[in-house]
Chain A
Amino acid sequence: MRRRPSGSTTEEDEESSSPEIAPSPVPGHGDKAYEKSRDSGRALKREVHVKDRRKDSDSATRPATGKSQLWTASPAPAPQTEKERPAMHLLAKDITPDSMVEVHNRRQSRLRNPWACSLLTLVTTCVAFGVLFVIGQSFMTRQLDPKGCDMSYMRPSFARFSDFDTEHTRFASKYSLYLYREGGIDEDTRVNSCRSHRYRLIDNF
C-alpha cells in the first residue's frame, strides 16, 4: 500500500485481514511491498506481518513516490477506492461506502503540503500587497491638504511664580506657574506684578 499515512485502527484491520487486496496495481512503486505482503499473507502471525509490511512499505514507497504522488493531486486515489470498496463491504459491514469516501478525503487533505498554494492565492496576495502599498503611498504623499501656516515670531520671556508654593497647592513641587511677557513691549511682571517680589524674567530665544 502506497497511500498509508496513519495507523488508524480500521485501516489496520482491513489490511491485516485481507492481505490479497492490499498490493498496489501500479508497477514499480509498490513492488517490494507487494512481494512482502504476498509472503506474509501465507505467514501465520498476522501481527508480525502487519508491522513488518508497514515498515517496509514506508521505507520503500516514501522516497520514490513522495513528491510526485503524495503532495500533488494524484490520479491514483480514484481507482484505489474502487478497489477498496468491495473489500470494505465484505469485511466491515457496518461502515457505509459514503463514510469511507469521507475518511478517504480527509486523509487526502491531511496529506497536502502546508506550504502549497495555488496560482490564484499567489496572485491575490501580490495584488493585495500592491493595493496596500498604493494606499500607504497615497496617505503619506498624495491628497494632503496644503500646509499654509505662516511662521510666527516673538520675543518671549517668562516669570515664574515661586510664591505659588505648597501653601497654595499640594502639587507645587511637581508643577509650576508662569506669566508670559513680550520682550520689548511689556516687561512689567506686575499683573502686572510686584515691587516687593521682583520676578526674574527668563529670556529664551
Chain B
Amino acid sequence: MKGVPVLFIPGNAGSYKQVRPLAAEAAYHYHNVLRHDENAIRGGKRALDFFSVDFNEDITAFHGQTLLDQAEYLNDAISFILSLYHNPSRSIRDSDLPDPSSVIIVGHSMGGMVARTMLTMPNYQSNSINTIVTLSAPHTRPPVSFDGDIVKTYKEVNDYWRHAYSQTWAIDNPLWHVTLISIAGGGLDNVLPSDYASLASLVPDTHGFTVFTTSIPNVWTGMDHLAITWCDQFRKSVVRSLYDVIDVSRPTQTLPRAERMRGFKKWLLTGLEDVAEKTLPHKGNVVLR
C-alpha cells in the first residue's frame, strides 16, 4: 500500500485529533470503493496518509509570532514527511512510483492562514505545497486584532499572495502551481464571520474559489465553526474531491493545476457559479435525430 501525504493543520486552540473524521472517511472510501476500481488504481489513486500536528492547543489567533512559529515548524514537518517516503525501509510504495515532492494541506480555521503563511517563510521548500483546502479560515483579515504582530503578518502574507498572482507571466509567479479552496460554514458559524473566508481579493478564479457549505452538492447545509471538521455529508464531499485531484504517478502527487481545479469544482460547486467551467463545449457535438 502506498499513500499520498496529506497534512492537517488545526486552528486556534484546536487539537490534532480534529483530523479524525476526514482521515477516517478517506480510509473507508479507499478501502470500500477505490481499492476495487481498476480504473482508479490505474489513474494513480491511492490511499491518503493523513498527518496531523499537535500545537498544544496554541492560541494562534491572538499572537502573530505563534503563527509564524507554527508555519516554520510545519515547513520542517513537510521536509520530514517527504523524507519518510524517500526512505525505503519506511515506505512501502511501489518502487516504480516517483517519490513525492509535495504534500496536500487541509487547514481548519487559523490553520488555513498558517498554511498560506508557510509559503512565504524562508524555510519553505519550493513546490512542496500545491494544494490547500481550508475550512472556515480567516483569509482576508485577522479575526482578532489585539496584537500588532498578527496584523503585520496578515498584511505581509496577503501582499505576497496578491503580488504573486498579479504577475503577468507564470514564470514570475511563485504560486503558479498552487490551488487554494476556501470553504465557509455560512450563517451558523458564529465564531468567524464567513466573509473573512473570502478569497476574492487574494486568488484569481483560475487558482481557487470560495464556497459555502450550504451550496455544496450533497451537503446543502450550514455548519458551525467546529461542525465543519466532523460533518458527515461534508467530509464525504471533501474526501472525494481530494481523491479526484491526486495522481501518484507524478512527483507532485497531484494532477496539474487546471485538472485539480476541475476536480474541486466538480465536487464542491453546483455548476451554476460564474467560475464554474462549462463542460458541455468540451464534449464534442452530438446530433440528435
Write the residues of chain A forming the contact surface with B, with a CB cutoff of 8 angstroms: 144-156, 158, 161, 164, 168-171, 174-182, 185-186, 188, 190-197, 204
Are B80 and A177 closer than 8 Å at their CB atoms? Answer: yes
- Which chain B residue has the least Cβ–Cβ distance from A150? B232
A93 vs B111: C-alpha distance when bound (angstroms): 79
Q: Which residues of A contact B90 (CB under 8 A)?
A: 190-191, 193-194, 197
Q: Which residues of A contact B217 (CB under 8 A)?
A: none
B55 contacts the other chain (CB 8 A): yes
Interface-centre pick from A150, A180, A193 (highest chain B CB count, 10 A): A180
8 contacts between A and B (CB under 8 A): A144-B188, A155-B24, A168-B80, A177-B80, A179-B52, A186-B1, A190-B92, A192-B49
Binds A, one of B12-20, B140-148, B150-158, B174-182: B12-20
How many A-B contacts are there with CB distance less than 8 Å? 145
A181 vs B186: C-alpha distance when bound (angstroms): 31
- Which chain B residue has the least Cβ–Cβ distance from A179? B51
Q: Which 9 A-B pairs have the closest CB atoms?
A: A154-B24, A148-B221, A169-B76, A182-B27, A150-B232, A149-B231, A145-B222, A194-B90, A180-B23
Are A161 and B80 closer than 8 Å at their CB atoms? Answer: yes
- Which chain A residue has the least Cβ–Cβ distance from B24? A154
Q: Which residues of A contact B5 (CB under 8 A)?
A: 191
Write the residues of chain B forming the contact surface with A, with a CB cutoff of 8 angstroms: 1-3, 5, 16-17, 19-21, 23-25, 27-28, 31, 47, 49-56, 69-70, 72-73, 76-77, 79-81, 84-85, 87, 89-92, 186-188, 214, 220-224, 227, 230-235
Q: Which residues of A contact B222 (CB under 8 A)?
A: 145-148
Are B50 and A179 closer than 8 Å at their CB atoms? Answer: yes
Pick from A144, A146, A155, A158: contact of B52, CB below 8 A.
Answer: A158
Q: Which residues of B contact A158 (CB under 8 A)?
A: 16-17, 52
Q: In the assembled complex, how far is the CB of residue A203 from the closest CB belonging to chain B, in whole angstroms?
A: 12
With contacts A182-B28, A186-B47, A192-B91 taken as known, whether A175 is within 8 angstroms of B221 at the C-beta atoms is: no
Q: Which residues of A contact B230 (CB under 8 A)?
A: 149, 151-152
- Which chain A residue has the least Cβ–Cβ distance from B20? A156
- Which chain B residue has the least Cβ–Cβ distance from A160? B54
Q: In the assembled complex, how far is the CB of residue B34 from the closest CB belonging to chain A, in whole angstroms?
A: 13
Interface-centre pick from A146, A147, A148 (highest chain B CB count, 10 A): A148
Are B1 and A192 closer than 8 Å at their CB atoms? Answer: yes
A153 vs B27: C-alpha distance when bound (angstroms): 12
Determine chain A's interface SS by DSSP, over half rule.
loop
Q: Which residues of A contact B28 (CB under 8 A)?
A: 182, 185
Q: In the assembled complex, how far is the CB of residue B7 from the closest CB belonging to chain A, in whole angstroms?
A: 9
Q: Which residues of B contact A197 (CB under 8 A)?
A: 90
Are B52 and A145 closer than 8 Å at their CB atoms? Answer: no
Pick from B80, B85, B87: contact of A164, CB below 8 A.
Answer: B80
Pick from B23, B186, B234: contact of A145, CB below 8 A.
Answer: B186
Q: In the assembled complex, how far is the CB of residue B251 from the closest CB belonging to chain A, in whole angstroms?
A: 16
Are A151 and B232 closer than 8 Å at their CB atoms? Answer: yes
Are A146 and B221 closer than 8 Å at their CB atoms? Answer: yes
Q: In the assembled complex, how far is the CB of residue A131 from the closest CB belonging to chain B, in whole angstroms?
A: 21
Q: Which residues of B contact A155 (CB under 8 A)?
A: 24
For the A-B complex with A149-B227, A150-B232, A180-B50 known, give 16 more contacts whose Cβ atoms are closer than 8 Å.
Answer: A148-B233, A153-B24, A154-B25, A158-B17, A168-B76, A176-B53, A177-B81, A178-B16, A180-B24, A185-B27, A186-B47, A190-B92, A191-B5, A191-B84, A194-B87, A196-B89
A154 vs B54: C-alpha distance when bound (angstroms): 19
Q: In the assembled complex, how far is the CB of residue B181 from the closest CB belonging to chain A, in whole angstroms?
A: 20
- Which chain A residue has the least Cβ–Cβ distance from B2? A192
Q: In the assembled complex, how far is the CB of residue A146 from the closest CB belonging to chain B, in whole angstroms?
A: 7
A153 vs B235: C-alpha distance when bound (angstroms): 11
Q: Which residues of A contact B85 (CB under 8 A)?
A: 191
A192 vs B49: C-alpha distance when bound (angstroms): 8
Are B92 and A192 closer than 8 Å at their CB atoms? Answer: yes
Are B235 and A152 closer than 8 Å at their CB atoms? Answer: yes
- Which chain A residue has the least Cβ–Cβ distance from B23? A180
- Which chain A residue has the least Cβ–Cβ distance from B233? A150
A186 vs B233: C-alpha distance when bound (angstroms): 23
